[in-house]
Structure 1
């Protein structure tokens, strides 16, 4: 147990690199921050030699926690921003600015248009069968279109 009381910067570096290698083998972006905290503690030991092992352990735990929280806040903010601009699983919103051809048209300005391999309910003024249209907006399941 003597090795536990005489940790050097090398021990912290080895711990850091073992955690970084484990992060590569078991991805999850969590061991990365623990490994980086151990490398920082090793660097700190190179400059300040009077630190005790319990104090170094506390510094390591605090750094690992801070790094993990900083990463979580960064990633959480990025995920929130991506959700606001994502059209994943919202095909009707992905249809904005797409072009299609009118297939059916009623007297009330509501009809069906073909967009790719799918037909959609469309609404627009002055449309005839065969007209090329562009999607301006989405209201429920109806695409608001204009003739181009």
Structure 2
């Protein structure tokens, strides 16, 4: 039965290449560890294997989330590379659409971005002060 766990580990780690998110690889490590456990303890029941797999998968994801993720982001020379909107904080832009009722649009490059801030007319210069998902928070300059 240990071969099944190792095959699952390879499938999960391989799936990480197709849909990168740095998540499936940790569950794959849990499956590989369970393959080792089931090799060393050949009579372990399937229920015990399933419970142990769930525990190992949660533990490996926790270890990544708590420790490894911080190390990876600290070593990066471009920590905001995949967080495009956060790169705009502190930058100044011109409102493309007036902010009415707290919402408007700012053109950044060739894309319009939803902006939140105080009501301002189109053409006003604003500074990005924060990000909430795909919405940027602005203030007048």
For 1:1-12, list aligned pairs within 5 A. Answer: 8-12=1-5
Q: TM-score, normalised by structure 1?
A: 0.48
Shift in Å, 1:49: 1.2
Counterpart for residue 47 of structure 1 = 40
- If you compute each CA radius of gyration, which structure gives the higher value, 1 or 2? 1
Match of 1:59 among 41, 45, 52: 52
Q: Deviations over 1:95-116 (max 9, x none)?
A: xxxxxxxxxxxxxxxxxxxxxx
Per the alignment, residue 118 of structure 1 pairs with none
Query: Unaligned stretches of 5+ in structure 1?
Result: 1-7, 92-148
Give me the TM-score of the superposition, normalised by structure 2.
0.50
Gapped regions of structure 2 (runs ≥ 5): 81-86, 92-141
Q: Structure 2 CA distance, aligned partners of 1:23 and 1:44?
A: 23
User: Where in structure 2 are the equivalents of 1:62-77 lying within 5 Å?
Assistant: 62-74=55-67, 75-76=69-70
**CA separation of 1:22 and 1:78: change in aligned 2, threshold 3 A:** closer
Q: Cα gap change, 1:81/1:17 in structure 2, threshold over 3 Å: closer, same or farther?
A: closer
Q: What's the CA shift for 1:56?
A: 0.5
RMSD between aligned alpha carbons?
3.1
1:81 CA displacement: 9.7
Count of residue correspondences: 84
Alpha-carbon distance in 2 for matches of 1:28, 1:45: 28
**Compared CA separation, residues 42 and 79, structure 1 to 2 (3 A):** same
Residue 77 of structure 1: how far off its partner (Å): 7.1
Pairing 1:13–2:1 present: no
